[in-house]
Structure 1
Amino acid sequence: MPVTEVTTDPEALTMTLTADVAASVDRLWDAFTDPRQLERFWGPPGYPATFTQFDLEVGGRARYVMTSPRGEQFHGLWEFLEIDGPRSFTALDSFADADGQVLADMPTSRMVFVFEPTETGARLRNTTYFDSADALEQVVAMGAVEGSTMAMNQLDRVLEGLRAYAAGKGTQTELLDDTHVRITRLIEGPRDLVWRAHHDPELLTQWLLGPDGWRMSVCEVDPVVGGRYRYQWEPVGDTEGEAFGFDGETLLIDAPRRSVTTEHMTGTDFPSTLNDLTLDEEDGATLITVLIEYPDKATRDMVLATGMTDGMETSYARLERTLVSA
């Protein structure tokens, strides 16, 4: 993970994040000053950022919005004060409303980003200066330390490139905390087609089957906010097992980039999970990221113990074969 340290200093009124990466200073600068790259890691998992404005010049502004899995939006505004590429830039960071107006009842801080070479690559040092101890405490209480750590720990996949980051590694499972798991899998194929494969019943029934010996007997999809879906699988031939299924509701749709659904095991009183699907394309390949939110650690561990990762890998490998003929 790139982040090595996050510290707060109540006397200096600062929060400082340090991260080391295996990339050049120029590459790191590009990631922070290209909005399409920046928005892939600026928001923590589950709260991706979308930059709607990015004028990298003294006096220029950048506007962005972070969208939660349930669709809540949190707007931010930067005003660039100093730019010394590729070594550093400074910006005022403010909470904003949907029209880009600064929220007067929320703290505005000054952020200084410094990029330095190291023996193994480059170092990011991001120091945020607050006007008062109350402002620092307020932002820390909102989860700034945890959120910035999780956000900057996504840098690797951007700096390395998706193929170097994920190609040939199959389905990877990361435990982010007691209730969140991140699943990643690189698929050879364009994002639009991978998106369609996740929402078109004709394609879903060809690949979303888990282990061999099962078929999807029910595939009902209504990919709109508030729409419901229902999947059911049953064994075929000599395969042992009983039919089972999942149902849920679509909470967010941002085609072809992101969709968020609930997932409940049909016919049970098991609690639902929240499944946050994100697709990123680079060089003809698409990285599938599924952030799963469980109700508690016990449920998380129970689901992972079923061999979920292996079953997903079988399905994703089948998805790649399906896309070839789609």
Structure 2
Amino acid sequence: MAVVSVDKNVEALSFTIVTEFDAGVERVWRIWEDPRQLERWWGPPTWPATFPSYDFTPGGKAAYYMTGPDGTKAHGFWTITAISAPDHLEFDDGFADEHGEPVDHLGTTHATVTLEPLGGRTRMTLTSVFESQEQMEKMAGMGMEEGLRLAIEQIDALLAEAANA
């Protein structure tokens, strides 16, 4: 996988990361639609994710938590807002408490994922749009960019493993 670009646009309140994978669009799509595959990469290696519930339909909800090295759990949720398989997904992503209830003071981000074919390869563009500049700065301060890079770096191994199975 190659990170093609990273763009932080303060005026648009957006963060975009573009990557390319040695797998077709349909295969890359499965890392989003299958919660067991999503758990293999959503979250940095030291903060792996668990998705106890995952309704991958428009309007569906997902609950997840990432477990840190010391056992700390950081809870989150998704609300799926749009799906056009196998190349477009949108969801609202936010923090939650231990009961899965949204933590409003941290707000939500709106994520858009697009997959484009590149002759047997796939370009994935993931854009997060923030509610405010303050939220964007807070998320940056929490290590969002580094965490997302580390998470995405796990995808190649997952795709290669499936290709060799």
TM-score tier after normalising by the smaller chain length: over 0.9
Q: Identify the residue that residue 90 of structure 1 maps to in structure 2.
A: 90
Q: Identify the residue that residue 17 of structure 1 maps to in structure 2.
A: 17
Provide runs of 4+ in structure 1 moved above 6 Å: none
Q: Identify the residue that residue 69 of structure 1 maps to in structure 2.
A: 69
CA displacement 1:223-247 (0-9 Å, x = unmatched): xxxxxxxxxxxxxxxxxxxxxxxxx
Letter in 2 for 1:22: D
Give how far 1:31 is off: 1.0
Give how far 1:91 is off: 0.4
CA displacement 1:57-116 (0-9 Å, x = unmatched): 111001111000100000110001111010101101010011110001112110001111
Q: Which has the higher contact order (CA 8 A, sep 6+)?
A: 2
Count of aligned pairs = 165
CA displacement 1:272-314 (0-9 Å, x = unmatched): xxxxxxxxxxx6xxxxxxxxxxxxxxxxxxxxxxxxxxxxxxx
Letter in 2 for 1:98: E
Give how far 1:41 is off: 0.5
Q: Identify the residue that residue 107 of structure 2 maps to in structure 1.
A: 107
CA displacement 1:143-194 (0-9 Å, x = unmatched): 0111100100100111111684xxxxxxxxxxxxxxxxxxxxxxxxxxxxxx
Q: Identify the residue that residue 37 of structure 2 maps to in structure 1.
A: 37
Task: Give the structure-2-normalised TM-score.
Answer: 0.95
Give how far 1:7 is off: 1.7
Give how far 1:32 is off: 1.1
CA-based RMSD: 1.4
Q: Identify the residue that residue 238 of structure 1 maps to in structure 2.
A: none
Please tell me whether the aligned partners of residues 61 and 80 of structure 1 are also in contact (alpha carbons under 8 angstroms). Answer: yes
Q: Map 1:184-223; keep pairs closer than 5 Å.
A: none
Unaligned runs of at least 5 residues, structure 2:
none
Q: Identify the residue that residue 132 of structure 1 maps to in structure 2.
A: 132
Paired with 1:32 and 1:2, the residues of 2 have a C-alpha distance of: 19
Letter in 1 for 2:24: S
Give how far 1:11 is off: 0.3
Letter in 2 for 1:119: G
CA displacement 1:245-275 (0-9 Å, x = unmatched): xxxxxxxxxxxxxxxxxxxxxxxxxxxxxxx
Paired with 1:163 and 1:81, the residues of 2 have a C-alpha distance of: 30
Unaligned runs of at least 5 residues, structure 1:
165-282, 284-326
Paired with 1:74 and 1:109, the residues of 2 have a C-alpha distance of: 16
Q: Identify the residue that residue 288 of structure 1 maps to in structure 2.
A: none
CA shift in 2, pair 1:39/1:2, >3 Å = farther
Give how far 1:3 is off: 2.5
Please tell me whether the aligned partners of residues 78 and 91 of structure 1 are also in contact (alpha carbons under 8 angstroms). Answer: yes
Paired with 2:148 and 2:6, the residues of 1 have a C-alpha distance of: 9
Q: Map 1:174-323; keep pairs closer than 5 Å.
A: none
Letter in 2 for 1:10: V
Letter in 2 for 1:144: M
Give SS of 1:105's match: helix
Give how far 1:5 is off: 2.2
Give SS of 2:28's match: helix
Letter in 1 for 2:124: L
Please tell me whether the aligned partners of residues 2 and 156 of structure 1 are also in contact (alpha carbons under 8 angstroms). Answer: no
Identity %: 37
